[in-house]
Amino acid sequence: MDDAVTADAARAATGLIPQPRDTRPENGAFLLGPATVLDAGPGTETTAAWLRGTVGAATGLPLPPGSAGTGPDDGVIRLRVDADTADALGPEGYRLTVGHTGVTLLGGGAAGTFWGAQTLRQLLGPDAHRRAPLRPGHRWAVPAVRIEDAPRFAWRGMMLDVARHFLPKDGVLRYLDLLAAHKLNVLHLHLTDDQGWRIEIERYPKLTEAGAWRERTKLGHRASPLWDDRPHGGYYTQDDIREIVAYAAARHISVVPEIDIPGHSQAAIAAYPELGNTDVIDTNSLGVWDTWGVNPNVLAPTDNALRFYEGVLEEVLALFPSRFVHMGGDECPKDQWRASSYAQARIEELGVGDEDGLQSWFIRHFDRWLADRGRRLIGWDEILEGGLAPGAAVSSWRGYAGGIAAARAGHDVVMCPEQQVYLDHRQHDGPDEPVPIGYVRTLEDVYRFEPVPPQLTPEQAAHVLGTQANVWTEVMETPQRLDYQVFPRLAAFAEVAWSELPPPAERDHAGFTRRMAAHYARLDALGVDYRPPGGPLPWQRRPGLLGRPIEGSPPNV
């Protein structure tokens, strides 16, 4: 083995993202060759298949099954689920040992083995993230190293809004691969909103026949005078959803569906006008909304609306095995309920006090309904208004306050404050940022995000299941725009979610920046159209499209 191969391998061991808990480089490297075999123990079969499909494709090596190479230098990649590793590091933890004769990867569970395999691919260098070999006969070196690793949080997620701009199925599968490459394990899929309904419901075909398409789309912020006059839409068939869920499961990712109620519902009302407040507005005149913002058209508080969404959820539960089902609950204006004689009579009949109580009644109903079927409701922090539904978990988006209140009350929390980890917010204050939205949130800002507020006691902090970055797509009309907003910041977020980092002010951002130099090459190999460190490339800009920049530092609320 020549010195250049050894040096390249050693550099790979120090450029890992997210940063492992303990990394101990050693001398030398292991060279993969045509006769290197893959010895997959029970419980590691999906990881072995993934390695052959990704590393095998990138290297051109077959990685056949076996317990030893055919020659003394061929070596073996050994995969095992290991009880001692599980006891020490949990089911998602792993121990990776690379020596001169091969690789041993011990996972605390099947997921741990898979996350260790992601580390192994990073150790092979950026070209191991391609789909075909660049140089046949290239020697693939893995640096000799011992790594012990486990995640900080059980919920490490990204929320992807496919309602505002539809992302076809292949794009969702691609993002599942990108999440897996960063050891993220939850895809929160925002499937319904005012601007589109994205999941086939066989009982209610008009949800996709009418609700999945809008006639035109606002370009830029809602105050922009510009429109894209082309119809926009699309939806996932139930077989598409089954494929997405299965693809995610093979990568140890849970897909959490979101069906938004009682606000953000105009697409559903456009398809089935009886769902709206018919004594206040002519719901038959409503179409799928073509602009952005908070919509006044919300569900009517009728038993018919409850039965309708129970029917929707029966099909959703059959498709998604996720324990959690997200029911939205955010940004529900109460004006129509205040004007509705039916809604006011309903408040009196139910004894819920006011319109906030009526929203709580919606959420509590589905909290009980889901619990009766072995599932858990999670919603945006507005579900705290009017009383928190028993057993519900909270996605704390308006800041930390909702999550703090929920954790103190004994409810589980996913921290996703908009001021910190909304990836639709702009990355720089320069004039070339495309459709600038919100506060400036740089790569360093995301790296210094801390999901657990210091106000919580250790017992309360245990209710923080984890964290997720949210990606709202009002101004992300193409996969390229989506990539630009998400990356490279998702790499920093992934390290926050996975690694045991010091307090924000003490984090080694310079060291992270050095490791990102290697990671940009991986993103290039994966075909990610990320924002370069020097700013947007000419084709990434959107001159003339009005945004909504907010100046100054975001409040810590």
Residues tagged active-site? 193, 264, 331
Q: Give 203's DSSP letter.
A: T
Strands 186-190 and 213-214, sheet pairing: unpaired
Residues 6+ positions from 415 with CB-CB distance below 8 Å: 396, 400, 403, 451, 452, 464, 466, 467, 468
Q: Which residues are 236's β-sheet partners?
A: 199
Smallest CA-to-CA distance from 131 within 227, 230, 60, 39 is with 60
Answer whether 382's CB lies under 8 Å from 373's CB: no
**Residue located via tokens 């569900």:** 299
268 membership: H or E segment, kind and range: helix 266-271
Token couple for 509: 């951002």
Token couple for 33: 């060759």
Answer whether 530's CB lies under 8 Å from 485's CB: no
Helices and strands counted in the chain (H then E): 20, 22
Q: Which residues are 305's β-sheet partners?
A: none
Token couple for 516: 């990102």
- Which segments within 84-134 are labelled E, that is strand? 94-99, 102-107
